[in-house]
Amino acid sequence: MNSRAIVASLAACGLVACTVGPDFIRPTPPPQPGYTAQPVVLPPAGRSDTRQQLAAAAAAASPWWRQFGSPTLDATVAQALADSPTVAQAQAVLAQAQQAVRIAAAGQYPQADLGAAASRSGGPADHGSGTTGGALYSAGPLVSYAPDVFGGTRRSIEQQQALAQVRQAQLDAARLALAANVVEQAIAIASTHAQTAAVDAVLATDRDNVELVRLAVDAGTGAPADLLAAQSQLAGDEALLPPLRQQRAAARDALAMLVGRSAGDWPVPEFELERLTLPTALPVVVPSALVRSRPDIRAAEAQLHAASAAIGIATANLYPQVSLSASWSQQSASLGTLFAGDSGLWSVAAGLTAPLFHGGALRAQQQAAVEGFRGQLAVYRQTVLLAFNQVADVLQALAHDAESIAAQRNALDAADASLRLAQESYSAGAGSFLQVLIAQRGAQQARLGYVRAVGQRYLDTVQLFAAMGGPQAVGESATAPATAAPANADR
């Protein structure tokens, strides 16, 4: 770049108003109206089970976990959000990013320092020649300023602000994931509790059967083989309890960890499905709003913004850099008279550094920033696709949960009726005990299947609230899409 080009560039920018590189434009929200090819409708779950309905919403409910109607659950989530080490770490990272913004912003202002120096001179000529050496003291301020002629500093501030937005979105994501995990573990505790109660009821029946058959064998009206079958049934059903107890213990330990405590010093609350309210109205954030509410999408967008600012930084490095400095100092041969009298010296300097030849490194850095933007744009698109796919999966899972509960309810009713008939027939001497065991096994499997289906429905409901992104503000949509290669990237 020759001197005329340098002067022309400085004059055109007026030393202050020129910002090279692309201006970031938020990606346009997707135009699609829904997440699935066909609208998802949740069918009735059964004659005595709650029916859920989906409703389009502009934003997720706040706070969504309160819809489960459990003060104990609300208090547990609040404690987790306050004491979780994961959230504390994300908060510290955000605070660090905010300080980085302040550091970048400091480059817009002059820098002032205070300098002081002391020196002493002398040599062989001092002895016998009459030449005298001595001390020299100086002190004074130094002011330096680098005008942001081409906007490199402003782009650096923009980049750091975008990275701070990334950290904020990551903090929101950590809070959302933590709340969802707490509710899921509470539901896991409640579900295993209900399954354990179902097995306990089966075991009570098994023990009654063993005692009943033993009395029949002692009276000579029962077969020893029936007693062995009843005892085998009891032993098999007892084997169902240890895995359920282990699942419950693991959920309790996980819940303690989520609230930032160890299981040994925190009384884990008890949760029961009967005391949890299944949310009936499920707000489904429309796709155009989801990209503004989900923390992972907002983080990807902020990363895209930072990548755009990086192009501006690399572009500004192609242009001249201007520096201004001024200093004033007092000088004296003794400390006592340093600030006395008229012994001040001042200086003013201006410098300009223009890149001439760097072996293509500066252009390569600019092109690398452009490629980084393109790569980050692909990451953003992939994040949006994953989010939409997750929502679609959860919506379909909720529909299948309702169908499963309805089927499990019908199976349970039929199995209970079959068990009553088999027991009545055996008591009347018209049926075999093997028929009772078979009917009992069917009733047990149907009851456990129903309890598991109910618990899964609660879990998928939590997943839907988490997939909606939580109670985040929904911003204004962009006016134009981001392009894969910004148009003025070569400036």
Helices (H), 240-360: 241-258, 287-293, 295-316
Give the CB-side neighbour count of residue 63, counting CA atoms within 13 A: 17
| Entry pTM | 0.84
pLDDT beyond 50 at 334? yes
User: Which tokens is 130 given?
Assistant: 């009459």
Give the orientation angle of helix 433-467 with respect to helix 361-427, to 10 degrees: 150
pLDDT beyond 60 at 477? no
Rounded to whole angstroms, the Cα distance separating 179 from 68 reads: 13
Strands (E), 8-152: 53-57, 111-121, 134-145
Rounded to whole angstroms, the Cα distance separating 199 from 242 reads: 11
Report pLDDT for 123.
Answer: 60
- Asked whether the beta carbons of 427 and 385 are under 8 A apart, the reply is no
- Asked whether the beta carbons of 180 and 189 are under 8 A apart, the reply is no
- Which tops the pLDDT comparison, 37 or 346? 37
Phi, psi for residue 319 in degrees, rounded to 5: -105, 165
pLDDT beyond 70 at 335? no
Rounded to whole angstroms, the Cα distance separating 439 from 32 reads: 51
Provide CB contacts within 8 A for 480, sequence distance 6+: 25, 28
Where do the structural domains in the chain lie, given as residue ranges?
27-110+137-321+361-467
- Residue 474, classed as helix, strand or coil, is coil
Residue whose C-alpha is closest to residue 447's, from 189, 201, 188, 185:
201
Least confident of 129-133, 134-138, 312-316, 487-491: 487-491
Rounded to whole angstroms, the Cα distance separating 415 from 433 reads: 16
Rounded to whole angstroms, the Cα distance separating 245 from 193 reads: 9
User: Please, which pLDDT band fits residue 377 given cuts at 50, 70 and 90?
Assistant: very high
Residue whose C-alpha is closest to residue 423's, from 164, 156, 212, 246:
212
pLDDT tens for residues 417-453?
A: 998 898 888 788 787 777 888 888 888 889 899 999 9
- Which tops the pLDDT comparison, 490 or 214? 214
CA torsion through residues 105, 106, 108, 109, sign: positive
Q: Would you say how long the chain is, in residues?
A: 491
Architecture of domain 27-110+137-321+361-467: Up-down Bundle (1.20)
